[in-house]
Amino acid sequence: MANATTADNSRTLAALAVTAGMILTVGSALGFQHIGGYTPCALCLLQRDPYYYAIPLGILAIATSIFKLPVQITRLLLALIGVAMLIGAGLGVYHAGVEWGFWEGPITCATGAPSITTNAGDLLGNLNAIKAPSCNDAALRVLGLSFAGWNVIASIALAAIAFFGASRKSR
């Protein structure tokens, strides 16, 4: 019985940790955008998608674990979160490769994420004036890594936590 309780607690903690980590990661990106003034490129926005899909799964995993629903549901949700985070890591590697010039970015890199217009009368004029940042240029590097590089690290760490929780079997 103690092993089952330990496994259940491990799954709950993993669900809490991975969900909090995902919220913190995407929240930081949104903070840099809206508070710091960094305009994201098309690939930056694409890298957020796995988080947007996985955060609700994390909330469900927390609920299924806390309310003692069948263990298989929580394990499946954690496994899906792990897969989503691996996809996020892959997108981050792709974006970092574009930034370092290892390969070409998609055509959408020249046309993503315009700024918000506050005057509807200027909308058409602003469409021609606003240039989205290029996916080739890192907006900021911290310890040699761009946001995309840090996303790879965060995504792999979050995937590891999710897969750890998914692998915990009740005896």
How much is the average pLDDT of 162-168? 92
Going from N- to C-terminal start, the domains of the chain cover: 2-115+122-167
Chain Cα centroid distance, residue 43: 12
**Is this structure's pTM higher than 0.85?**
no
- Sorting pLDDT into bands at 50, 70 and 90, what band is 152? very high
Asked whether the predicted pLDDT for residue 110 surpasses 70, the reply is no
Nearest one of 157, 136, 158 to 148, comparing CA atoms? 136
Stated as kind and residue range, the H or E segment containing 146 is strand 145-146
Residue 136 has pLDDT above 70, yes or no: yes
Tokens 């019985």 correspond to what residue?
1
Q: Over 60: is that where the pLDDT of 115 sits? A: no
Residue 3: pLDDT above 60?
A: no
CA geometry: angle at 165 spanning 159 and 166, to 5°? 85
pLDDT at 66: 92
pLDDT at 171 over 50: no
Asked if 163 contacts 19 with a C-beta cutoff of 8 angstroms, the reply is: no
- What is the per-residue pLDDT across 54-95, written as a single tens digit (0 to 9) for each? 999 999 999 999 999 999 999 999 999 999 999 999 999 999
pLDDT at 43 over 60: yes
Q: Which residue has the tokens 């330990």?
A: 6
Q: In whole angstroms, what is the distance from residue 129 CA to residue 131 CA? A: 6
**Residue 142, helix vs strand vs coil:** strand
Please say if the pLDDT value at position 125 is more than 70: no
Predicted local confidence at residue 74, as pLDDT: 94
* Tokens of residue 168, six digits: 């915990």
Residue 128 has pLDDT above 80, yes or no: no
